[in-house]
Structure 1
């Protein structure tokens, strides 16, 4: 059996953590455990009891933090995509941010992180699982909104073609990125993430540049 997840930032020996720090560490460990179960056995294998056991806690602790399996999966979907491309949130909206996001997203897919793989598996499952669909529609719309903002900002500053439709670009980019991620899950050797990220970034730069 895999070892239980541990917080990413263990305390310094002798240092006493606050109650909030302990709560944050416990929540992170539970989400790590849930991601591992999704990747290993699929969404249906995730139960509050199994998540608690994997993380080294009781089911009661999982219930205390999340309340239900759906709330746990919602939290996993949110945290696994937050900050997926390091540094992109610090850039102003526009073509440059869009290209950094596209290349960085594909590059991160190549790292095969457990949380990223879990997100893609949950996203695919959301097409037929009612308990997941609302959360993932919300996550996808937030992603598309950011992409639309980048295209609109590029049009405004003259770096993006005036006839580019932000809505169409957003749907196309999101579909491409998610599709590459699913291909990577099915056949990792078929996707050279670093090379592909640069190639796709170049494609969108040529397609959108004014």
Structure 2
């Protein structure tokens, strides 16, 4: 009967998966924790969700989420960043250097297409935004920072379009960014409040029409 040592000796080294580095293990764990938090928040809201519960939901120890994120507010901020990244990734095919108009329309499509079959991350994002509007202090700052970063990205896209001659100089990048983020947030909230009455196709068409008009008028 072969020994364990003999078994290992006969094994092709190429069949043995490489050991993950500490950074890879941490990244995988953080991703799992954020996904677990999204599931819980999407179903129950954030008020009753604790870091310990997130750790258990992800299949880890109760203390791992605290060890990685330090506080619930920090975890929620990371979750919102991940939700925005998900929306950006959904729009990625339209953000391949085709120009400012297509980049912004693509981002809007990505956000609104997510309403059709929302992920846990997308649903949690809407819940967190609604709670922040209701005055949940641990979320308000994070939501405001995320809105500000999205407005900054939008203004940069518009500014680049102007420098490249695609867009006229008459558009104020900051003012457009304010309205652009408000438009998308308003539509997503409407979809969350009454999904059966919300026509995603119409919302996409009208959003793109407004974007093009706002950026080319004057």
TM-score class, shorter: 0.7 to 0.9
| Aligned 8 A contact 1:37 1:45 in 2 | no
Query: What CA distance in whole angstroms lies between the structure 1 residues aligned with 2:164 and 2:35?
Result: 41
Residue 187 of structure 1 is aligned with which of 177, 181, 194? 194
Deviation readout 1:23-78 (Å, 9 max, x if unpaired): 22211111111111111111102101211121111111111111221111111111
SS at match of 1:82: helix
Unmatched segments (≥5 aa) in structure 1 = 1-12
Taking the TM superposition and a 5 Å limit, the aligned residue runs for 1:45-124 are: 45-86=48-89, 87=92, 90-91=96-97, 94-124=100-130
Unmatched segments (≥5 aa) in structure 2 = 1-14
Normalised TM-score (structure 2): 0.81
Normalised TM-score (structure 1): 0.84
Q: Is 1:23 matched with 2:23?
A: no
Deviation readout 1:89-119 (Å, 9 max, x if unpaired): 6437622312222222212232311101111
Q: How many residues align?
A: 198
Q: Once superposed, what is the RMSD of the aligned Cα atoms? A: 2.2
